[in-house]
Structure 1
Amino acid sequence: MNTENPRPRNHLKLILGALLVAVLAIGYFVLAGPHASDVSPNAHTAHSEGATPREPGQSAFAAIAEIVAMLDADPDTDWSKVDIGALRAHLVDMDRLTLGASAREVTAGNTVTFRISGTGGVLRAIHAMVPAHGLELDRLEDWQVSTETTDDGAILAITADDPSEIERIRALGFFGLMALGSHHQPHHLAMARGTMEGH
């Protein structure tokens, strides 16, 4: 026959339960900060009504929204030339190139050559973007840059005399090189304004 008194166990459960409630309550007030005291029924409604989301939800949409806001805020915008469709087409090309293209690298001496390939819309994006960006890289860096379109993509060749630059080029790889420089944003604005053709 078990003569153990069950009361000590019950007391232990009550103490542990109380400690758990206390820890949860303290955690709530620490995480909630100064707003924890807003306990009125309308407090949370007021906060949610006054808040504005900042995330537009998708990167291409965000880029277009930023450009549209700039155009709308500029009193000199010539709306007869604005072409948001051209910007969108370019953003589609950027997406296809980044996510769909394949790139193989070969290094010979002081030249790094990338062979980029793809099909369908990816191929179109390669043909549109690689030669144009090659010109930007040639202006941007102390490199000799050449491009050539092929039936299945393009060839991007970069020559540099400094071995550390060859190491940098190889580390960046094709996709890092395509992102190099800050010319994309001005080009996006110019495309949307209808004042340029380009990648």
Structure 2
Amino acid sequence: MTSTLTLIATLLLSGTSLAVAQTHSSGHVPGMDHAAHGQSAPPQEVILTEPGQGAFAALSEVVRALEADPETDWSRVDLAGLRAHLVDMDRVITDTIVDETHLPDGLSAMATGDAATIAALHRMVPAHAAQLTREDRWTATTIATDDGVELRVTSADPATVARIRALGFFGLMASQDHHRAHHMLMARGEEAHAH
């Protein structure tokens, strides 16, 4: 009888140990033992790469560049002006309503929206058209009205005409890589093309 009781006690203890072991590891992948978390080394610092909303990210990047430059003249820095420009960019991209018409030699795009969007279009589109005309493959002109701005981009080259039409208003507004340099000039309080 003693040997039977010993066998039962051994089986019960073994079962309990097995149940405890399964409880600690059941459904967990290695490294997920909650009891051991307090005993492990602290986790590596995570560095996020996206500082948030687009305008905030652009401002954050500019601030880091200004702070890293020992030549920054802080008395001239104009981050409020850059922020206003970034708000204009956002309005032009998200709030503008565009009616595009294919021309034999290019595209006419009539851009409009609410009062704040029209004001942003008046500031942005003519200035960007001036940047577009720095390329000799096309001509860009604008006509500002009370209702918005017409952007007209034309070319004598059929391949360029196809490109103009494919880009459309928004692609043309986003073309050329002058924006970052322009933003740094604005942030430094230097006169870039006015928009």
Using the size of structure 2 for normalisation, the TM-score is 0.79
Determine the C-alpha separation between the residues in 2 that align with 1:186 and 1:43.
50
CA drift of 1:36 comes to 7.7
Gaps of 5+ in 1: 1-20, 30-34
Residue 140 of structure 2 corresponds to residue 145 of structure 1: yes
SS of 1:104's equivalent in the other structure is strand
Pick from 32, 43, 46 the counterpart of residue 42 of structure 2: 46
Partner of 2:58: 63
Flag as ranges the 4+ runs of structure 1 deviating above 6 A: none
Q: Match for 1:136 among 131, 134, 138?
A: 131
RMSD: 2.5
Bigger share in helix: 1
SS in 1 for 2:70: coil
Deviation at 1:44, TM superposition (A): 6.9
Task: Report the CA distance between 1:43 and its aligned residue.
Answer: 6.9
Change (3 A) 1:111 1:172: closer
Once the 2 structures are TM-superposed, how far is the Cα of residue 168 of structure 1 from its aligned partner? 1.1
Q: How does 1:26-105 map to 2 (within 5 A)?
A: 28=29, 40-42=36-38, 46-47=42-43, 50-105=45-100
Aligned residues: 171
SS state at 1:191 partner: helix
Larger radius of gyration: 2
**Structure 2, gaps ≥5 residues long:** 1-24
The 3 A distance-change label for structure 1 pair 157 and 44 is farther
TM-score (norm 1): 0.77
* C-alpha contact (below 8 Å) 1:140/1:181 kept by paired residues: no
What's the counterpart of residue 7 of structure 1? Answer: none
Cα distance between partner residues in 1 of 2:46 and 2:39: 13
8 A contact 2:106–2:164 mirrored in 1:
no
| Counterpart Cα distance in 2 of 1:169 and 1:44 | 59
Q: In the alignment, is residue 186 of structure 1 matched against residue 181 of structure 2?
A: yes
**TM-aligned CA deviation for residue 173 of structure 1:** 0.9
Matched, 1:123 2:118: yes
